[in-house]
Amino acid sequence: MTADPLPLPEPAAAADGPPPVILLRGVTKVYRMGLEEVRALDGVDLRIDPNEFVAIMGPSGSGKSTLMNILGLLDVPTGGRYWLAGRDVARLSQSEQARERGRRIGFVFQTFELLPRQTALQNVELPLIYSGVRDRRARAAEALRQVGLADRMTHRPNQMSGGQRQRVAIARALVQEPALILADEPTGNLDTRTSEEILDLFDDLHDRGQTIVLVTHEPDIAARCRRVVRLRDGRVESDGPGGLSEDRETISC
């Protein structure tokens, strides 16, 4: 099943400190398109430790979305292994997948994906409903406070600006205290100034210990991350430190 060159130890037992948030070993994803096979991911190895702030970049068709779907447990890999916070999640059943997804991963989408008829508070409560948590209201309110929307709790999405909506979405991602926040082009629908605010908020969360993976194709956004993973043709092309100073064009393996 796996194409591991080395016999890997179980990551939970792997030496020092807490297990990595994400550990991918030889992950492949193959789609069938008629008779043709498309290898969207072709043996991806990736390790993300707690409190990392990683950007995943790549041109369209590089397998970036597929990787995000697999990381987010929205899809299962064809081959390879995936440990999420120490648990092997590559072959989970549908409902276990949903449960893990709800508990360990907070999604932030480009288009916010708030429920239009629900207040900010109700939107943030949504993940807690599915995980059956008791003090939903209090936890949702706390999450909204963290993103600076304590005074907007009873507003509906159409009464808020784009930046505020994305903050609600981030609060919704935070409310389960997930191992990982997975943001897919979170500033794609926002103007520059608001984008800055949202990225500042991510920085802020990172400073407080949150692990964040940000999928983007905008280099200056990736540049703000501590680490940038570039994909090309379903493989990791480069994996190195980000930073504004670095020359974007010439990162090599």
Q: Is 234 in the site for other proteins (CB under 8 A)?
A: no
Of 30 and 126, nearer to other proteins (C-beta) is 126
Which part of the chain contacts other proteins (CB under 8 A), choosing from 10-18, 35-43, 90-98, 141-149? 90-98
Q: Is 31 in the site for other proteins (CB under 8 A)?
A: no
At its nearest, how many Å lie between other proteins and the CB of residue 196?
A: 26
Site string for other proteins, 169-208 (x = CB under 8 A): ---x---x--------------------------------
Alpha helices in the chain (DSSP H): 64-71, 94-104, 120-131, 136-146, 162-174, 192-207, 219-222
Distance CA 226, CA 53 (A): 6
At its nearest, how many Å lie between other proteins and the CB of residue 73?
A: 9
Which part of the chain contacts other proteins (CB under 8 A), choosing from 48-56, 103-111, 137-145, 225-233? 103-111
Cβ neighbour number for residue 121 with a 10 Å cutoff? 20
Asked if residues 99 and 176 have their Cβ atoms less than 8 Å apart, the reply is: no
Pick from 132, 158, 247, 252 the residue near other proteins by CB under 8 A.
132
What is the b/e burial string over 88-99, where b = at least 16 CB atoms within 10 angstroms of the residue's CB? ebbebeeeebee
Token duo for residue 96: 């276990």
Which residues are registered as beta bridge partners of 239?
A: 229
**Chain residues in the site for other proteins (CB under 8 A):** 69, 72, 74-75, 94-95, 98-99, 101-103, 107, 109, 113, 115, 117, 126-127, 129-132, 172, 176
